[in-house]
Chain A
Amino acid sequence: MDTESLVKKAKKGDKNALVKLIMDKKQDYYKIAYVYMKNSEDTMDAMEDMIVVLYQNIHKLKKEKAFYSWSKKILVNCCKNLLRKNNKVVLLENTKEEAYEENFHSKETGIILEEHLSKLNEKHREVIKLRYYLDMDYKTISQVLKIPTGTVKSRISNGLKKLKVSLGGENL
């Protein structure tokens, strides 16, 4: 069944249709929430909050086609609310050993970069992650965060500059 028909069903209160809409793109939703929440349990909490909000408000969605962009906006808001509610400073994750062999050097750099990212201000960190970790284009980021495309561009470029300064800049 195509997205539009599923959205119509969901609008009629069909819970299975709503779950299917989310599960069809589960990877996308999970990744977005994970970038904010940084662990699986909180990511699923945010997705639970999102689906409840969707269920209660889907009748307000005029364009069936816009379901995915609309729901992702809601997911980002749910993540931010949860972070606020838990009053959590999202700390750098502890270094994790992966179950598979991995290039040690690149892992090291990755962690260092993550550490410097966490020092940036929230606005800059958020756009950089959406752009580089989730491959979103400027337009999508502007829709998700409800800010103009120009602002997205300037935040990314300022964020990258700050990141460069933070990393010491000499060898980058």
Chain B
Amino acid sequence: MREIEELLKNNKEKIDNLVLPDELEDRLRGALENQEKKSKSNNKWIFKVASILILIILISYNFDTLAYFSKKITGFDPVMNSTLKELNEIGKGQVIGKSFTFENGISVTLDAVMVDDNQLLLFYTEKFDEGNIGENGIESIMSIDGFMGTLHEKGGQGIMNDEKTEMKWIISFDAPKFFQKEFKWEFGIVEGGKTKRGEITFTLDRSKAMGCTLKSRINKSVKLNDRKIKFDSIQASETSTVIKGSIQNIFQLALDQVSDNRIRPESLELKLIANGKELQWQGKGMSTNFDGIKFDYEFEPLPKHLDDLKIKVIGLIADYDEDKIVDIVVGDNIKTINIQDQNIIINKVYESDKETFVTITTEDHVVLSRIFLMIDGKKVELQNTISNNNEKKRDGVITHTRTLKFVGTGEKLELKIERIKYKKTVNEVIDIPVK
């Protein structure tokens, strides 16, 4: 029996030596691309009669006369960054202190909120004396329903106590509109496969809202091949600085679809430099919809005394449609081809009795994200990539050599490249006027 186990272990080596395909991550992202979490429709208000709206506005603006002055948010120091601590010190948070308890004993307390033009921050505490709050906390599908629309959650962070019975969270939501005051925060827990919902209502004290410290239209573009990265606006508040822009407009997007020349941006590298010092980035997002490709970048707040502000555009990693057929023959040092300014060296083509292998070298940021081998006119997909090897050249360029394996052999061989992903370095600086 031991010999069989030995044999099995030998076969295991083959599995251990599997080389993962380059496109795995792209495939996973692609699979998620069109997935939407089911969320409730929030446009039901839009169709209400205007007279009712006006009535509600009149009532609500005269309704809330509570004074919140000089109360501070307590217990959140470990979760707050230095900016939030300072703002809390000067009483910029609005203390709420309302709770909701589920039947199983889990309680949720909305401690406070903080608002400026970039976001609404929710400070809340979850408690569960019967067990581990980390495993039984509220479900993350949360929304804040306000008058004329929902605020979507953007992200956040939490800290658990040592006993694991309590957790303090700060979660960021979209900034509310100027006319929104009454909110309903909805959340849920999952128990025995069923979701149980809870809610807490709160009223915003508009006198606490911090607005923004700098709001400016940038309206400048950086050229990238035949496209433009357009920077639309920068909005700095007490809690963050947000830069918004787009990579192409709807007209271009439609044109690209028609001409089979799409670009799928993956990430844009930016730096925001204030008074010569780089600011930390806190988050970024990119979305494609009917308005084209939009991005937003979030950095820490700007320094109090601002003399000089610059955006440094480093580069863009994106996946481009391509349509190139390259003749190859069995042998060494075949040729170098250039696709979209990227050199692809075809070092070697060789075959076994059943497979054809193509060894290529590119810079390390270049991936042929969709490639086929035409064997006597028949399209064969890439089976896998073997023997990866990275090498750093003297000039600092890192090259990546790998061998592509295709099943089948034939007389006439052509590589068919349908997509290529690479990083386009831009290195341009945009000055933002500071008033």
Distance of A33 Cα from B200 Cα, bound (Å): 45
Contacts of B27 in A (CB 8 A): 44, 47-48
B338 to chain A, nearest CB (A): 26
Determine, out of A80-88, A132-140, A141-149, the stretch whose residues face the partner at the interface.
Answer: A132-140
Check if A132 sits within 8 Å of B8, measured CB to CB.
yes
Contacts of A163 in B (CB 8 A): 4
Interface string of A142-172 (1 = CB under 8 A from B): 0000000000000000001001100100001
Q: Is the interface of B mostly helix, strand, loop or mixed?
A: mixed
Give the contacting residue for A40; candidates B21, B32, B155; CB below 8 A: B21
Distance of A113 Cα from B14 Cα, bound (Å): 13
Q: Does B153 contact A (CB under 8 A)?
A: yes
A170 to chain B, nearest CB (A): 11
Give the contacting residue for B140; candidates A5, A12, A18, A26; CB below 8 A: A12
A52 to chain B, nearest CB (A): 5
Check if B25 sits within 8 Å of A100, measured CB to CB.
no
Contacts of B355 in A (CB 8 A): 96-97
Q: Does A35 contact B (CB under 8 A)?
A: yes
Q: Does A120 contact B (CB under 8 A)?
A: no
Q: Does A41 contact B (CB under 8 A)?
A: yes
Give the contacting residue for A19; candidates B7, B12, B32, B190; CB below 8 A: B32
Known: A9-B155, A132-B9. A15 touches B134 (CB 8 A): no
A54 to chain B: closest residue by CB: B32
Give the contacting residue for B135; candidates A26, A55, A62, A134; CB below 8 A: A62
Contacts of B158 in A (CB 8 A): 8
Give the contacting residue for B24; candidates A44, A49, A60, A172; CB below 8 A: A44
Q: Does B352 contact A (CB under 8 A)?
A: yes
Known: A99-B357, A99-B403. A135 touches B141 (CB 8 A): no
Q: Does B197 contact A (CB under 8 A)?
A: no
Contacts of B136 in A (CB 8 A): 62
Contacts of B354 in A (CB 8 A): 94-97
Q: Does B11 contact A (CB under 8 A)?
A: yes
Distance of A40 Cα from B383 Cα, bound (Å): 6
Distance of A165 Cα from B303 Cα, bound (Å): 77
Known: A23-B25, A97-B353. A132 touches B383 (CB 8 A): no
Known: A13-B141, A99-B403, A160-B1. A19 touches B386 (CB 8 A): no
Q: Does B3 contact A (CB under 8 A)?
A: yes
Check if A113 sits within 8 Å of B7, measured CB to CB.
yes
Q: Does B257 contact A (CB under 8 A)?
A: no
Interface string of B43-77 (1 = CB under 8 A from A): 00000000000000000000000000000000000
Contacts of B7 in A (CB 8 A): 109-110, 113
Check if B140 sits within 8 Å of A11, measured CB to CB.
yes
Q: Does B223 contact A (CB under 8 A)?
A: no
**Number of residues from B at the complex interface, CB < 8 A:** 53
Check if A64 sits within 8 Å of B381, measured CB to CB.
no
Distance of A28 Cα from B387 Cα, bound (Å): 19
Check if A133 sits within 8 Å of B11, measured CB to CB.
yes
Check if A133 sits within 8 Å of B8, measured CB to CB.
yes
Q: Does A6 contact B (CB under 8 A)?
A: no
Check if A22 sits within 8 Å of B28, measured CB to CB.
yes
**Number of residues from A at the complex interface, CB < 8 A:** 56
Q: Is the interface of A mostly helix, strand, loop or mixed?
A: helix
Give the contacting residue for B31; candidates A52, A97, A99; CB below 8 A: A52
Q: Which of B15-35 contact A (CB under 8 A)?
A: 15-16, 18, 20-21, 23-25, 27-32, 35
Q: Does B5 contact A (CB under 8 A)?
A: yes
Q: Does A39 contact B (CB under 8 A)?
A: yes
Check if A13 sits within 8 Å of B25, measured CB to CB.
no
B21 to chain A: closest residue by CB: A40
A94 to chain B, nearest CB (A): 6
Give the contacting residue for B11; candidates A94, A114, A160; CB below 8 A: A114
Q: Does A121 contact B (CB under 8 A)?
A: no
Contacts of B405 in A (CB 8 A): 99
A68 to chain B, nearest CB (A): 15
Give the contacting residue for B5; candidates A30, A41, A49, A132; CB below 8 A: A132
B29 to chain A, nearest CB (A): 6
Contacts of B357 in A (CB 8 A): 99
Show 30 residue pairs from A and B whose CB-CB distance is below 8 angstroms, ordered by the A residue: A4-B134, A8-B140, A11-B139, A12-B153, A13-B140, A23-B28, A26-B20, A27-B20, A31-B18, A34-B18, A40-B384, A47-B27, A51-B32, A55-B32, A56-B37, A59-B139, A59-B190, A62-B136, A63-B135, A64-B134, A96-B355, A110-B11, A110-B14, A128-B8, A132-B8, A133-B11, A133-B12, A160-B4, A160-B5, A164-B4
Give the interface of B toward A (CB within 8 A). 1, 3-5, 7-12, 14-16, 18, 20-21, 23-25, 27-32, 35, 37, 134-136, 139-141, 153, 155-158, 190, 193, 352-355, 357, 381-384, 386-387, 403, 405
The 7 residue pairs across chains A and B that have the minimum distance between CB atoms: A97-B352, A132-B8, A48-B31, A40-B384, A12-B140, A11-B140, A172-B3
Q: A23-B25, A48-B30 are in contact. List 14 more A-B contacts (CB 8 A).
A: A8-B158, A13-B140, A39-B383, A44-B21, A44-B23, A51-B28, A62-B135, A64-B134, A96-B355, A110-B7, A113-B8, A113-B11, A132-B12, A133-B8
